[in-house]
Amino acid sequence: MDFTFDANKYLSVAENTDVTRFCTLAAVVTLFWDWVTHLDDEVEYIWKRDWRMAGKPLYLIIRYGGFAFQIFDLVQMLGSWGKKQHWLNNSDSCALYYVLLPIGTPAFLFVVDVVLAYRSLCLYRLNRRLVTINVAFFCIAVASTAAIAGYSFSKFGVVATPRFITGCWATMPSTIYMTTVPPLIFELWLFSLVVYKLIRYTREVGRPSKESIIQLLVKDSMSWFFIIAAMILWNGLNFALAPEGLRGVALP
């Protein structure tokens, strides 16, 4: 996509980029509000607990690593500060940004999947055969996503923009949407494990009570599945169908 000699193309993509900026800002505000309103629980159940607790590192990576990633994305999207041109107008810096972006989103997604997979396997009392299958499936999903992302982003190009337009612009290949397929398949696999266990438990024991551990695990796992699946589907459709300037409205 060549912007060099056509000002109308600049203006058209700039209008779409404004939508992306508002969406990025909304994501950061929502994340910050969630952190403030749940800070007391975080202090009680995370910071005051033993540092050897298995879930503590994962929580901190997801919470604060994700926060840092969103702030980085917001700074890039806002472009300039006052009269000082933003450093991300530089083509080399933009290239670095578009290398980090496809790594960050799947990485955090797969970190969350580690937690969800562990919960799902707990329903089966960590059956050794099922754990092996799950680990193999997870590794295949990670490797496939990495391979597709690497191929797709080897084809992208940073667009050189004039000084009055801020932020990073790049042309993305159409194959980028395929990076959402392996994670979605893995999410469906985890979802099927939970649903199968619930159906089997209901037939053998009866409907679990609201206070039972299995009911809580199933409810939580299914809720996360729909949230993550919706995010993956949105990103896939956005990458496949959105015009230039709106493909950045992904959900990292």
Q: Where are the domains of the chain?
A: 7-241
65-120 pLDDT, tens per residue? 778 777 777 776 665 444 444 444 455 666 666 666 666 677 778 888 888 888 88
118-129 pLDDT, tens per residue? 888 888 888 899
CA distance between the termini of the chain:
24
Please tell me the distance from the alpha carbon of residue 189 to that of residue 13, in angstroms, as a whole number.
Answer: 38
Average pLDDT, the chain: 74
| Residue 189, pLDDT score | 92
Within a 10 A sphere around the Cβ of 189, how many other Cβ atoms? 17
| Residue 217, pLDDT score | 75
pTM reported for the whole predicted model: 0.68
Please tell me the distance from the alpha carbon of residue 70 to that of residue 234, in angstroms, as a whole number.
Answer: 18
The burial of 167, by beta-carbon neighbours within 10 Å (0-12 exposed, 13-18 middle, 19 or more buried), is given as buried
51-67 pLDDT, tens per residue? 766 567 767 777 887 78
Q: How confident is the model at residue 161 (pLDDT cuts 50, 70, 90)?
A: low
Within a 10 A sphere around the Cβ of 145, how many other Cβ atoms? 23
| Residue 100, pLDDT score | 67
Q: What is the mean pLDDT of residues 179-187?
A: 88
Q: How confident is the model at residue 1 (pLDDT cuts 50, 70, 90)?
A: very low
